Amino acid sequence: MSKNIDNKPRASLTASAKKRSSAGKIVVVVLLALVAIASLLMLIVKFQADGLYDTISKGIEFDPDKVAIIENTEKVTSALSKDKYYTQADTNEAYKSDIAIVKDNYIANSTKASEKENIFTYVLYGLDANEGGQADIITLISVNKKENQIHYVSIAPNALVYIPDVANGGVVGPLYHAYDFGGGNLLVKTISQNFGIYIHGYAELNLKGAENIISELGPVKISMSAKEVAEFNKAVESYDNRYDIEVNPIDSATAGEYELDVQQVMAYIRGVNSDRQTAVFTIMKAAAKKAMNEGYGEFKAFVENILGDGVTVAMDRDDYDTLVQSAMFSMRKYLENDIETYIFGAETRESKSLGNVSYSMYDYEDAINSLTKEIY
């Protein structure tokens, strides 16, 4: 039972993907930021800093030009023949128009990415499985080393983009398919060439890492209005019926600060805020604050448990050190809400659907200009 402290469907590539645990998916979404926080503290306190990098790099090479697309030929062929994003492109006039817009944007930005002095940008994403899976949350972290500033940019996983190196050239589809087709390197290459952003590496969190984090961290505290409490309880009922997972409602109708366990967190994200990304970052901040308040001994164990099998980074050691050292300077401000997460294209984002599959469209020129100003 919760304690009052204060007294849209998406396409899947395979049948097995549809059966993946939604619980794991949402936990990944909520806890991705904690990987960076744990890494930061590990480096700052000099606790096996070199060993940490070696543990979570796992020998994965970051090179967007070396995409293992050939290994996924069967999956690509299956998606192109069955997925409504692709099969209806020739018959749906509105979607054909969106495809043309995306291709024009890609042509305009695919060669613009260039390294900027003192600016280091990374992609963090979470998977909905222990291995493989789909990228369900995608975040850019941009570090200005000279100014000791950090920017967090959330990108909708179903943003319609041009995915290069697929099917003898490329295809237009949702961003999360880039990971399906070619892993982290292709996901990064797709972001870079569609948005004109130079990227220095990526970090990946899978289900195992998320499970370890939540088992160590425990419930998180979230402030909710009376309206949000009512919305939460409705979401609990819907979530329970849909996934056959028992979730405790909040035994109250008043505003307050409530402790939410893992299943309640998932219901919160699905039902309390119409913008799921906003809900995700609300949870992320609450979880991060709790982690930062742990004692050193307990936090050391927390760090040891969440790293390893669940986390992978693909970047060189210098870029890794830049990321974690610079992020540490801004973490307190971020947690105190002095730094907000920028939502890519929030001003022009339009939710659309093809059949029963949703995707996000933008005024790409305006959205990318705003993104460039945000991180540069």
Share above pLDDT 90 across residues of the chain, in percent, rounded to a whole number: 23
What band does 133 get if pLDDT is binned at 50, 70 and 90? low
Q: How far is CA 349 from CA 161, 182, 275, in A?
A: 13, 26, 12
Q: Which helix (H) or strand (E) holds 234?
A: helix 226-243
Looking at residue 334, what is its pLDDT? Answer: 57
What are the structural domain ranges in the chain?
25-40+48-211+310-375
User: What's the predicted TM-score (pTM) here?
Assistant: 0.74
Average pLDDT rounded to a whole number, residues 130-150: 76
**From residue 266, how far is each of 50, 199, 270, 360 by CA, in Å?**
35, 31, 6, 22
With a CB cutoff of 8 Å and minimum separation 6, the contacts of 18 are 12
Q: Ramachandran region of residue 374, left (φ > 0), alpha (ψ -120 to 50) or beta?
A: alpha
Q: Half-sphere exposure of residue 171, counting CA atoms within 13 Å on the CB side?
A: 25
pLDDT at 26: 40
Per-residue pLDDT band for 126 (boundaries 50, 70, 90) equals confident
The residues, any chain, with a CB within 8 Å of residue 275's CB and separated by 6 or more, are 343
pLDDT single digits (tens) 201-236:
998 876 555 556 656 677 888 888 998 888 888 888
pLDDT tens column, 299-323: 555 555 555 566 778 888 888 777 7
Q: What pLDDT is recorded for position 20?
A: 39
CA distance 224 to 151: 26
Using CA atoms, how far residue 251 sits from 40, 232, 272, 285, in Å, is 38, 11, 16, 24
Domain 25-40+48-211+310-375: give its CATH architecture.
2-Layer Sandwich (3.30)
> In whole angstroms, what is the distance from residue 363 CA to residue 334 CA?
28
Question: Residue 349 is encoded by which pair of tokens?
Answer: 């984002």
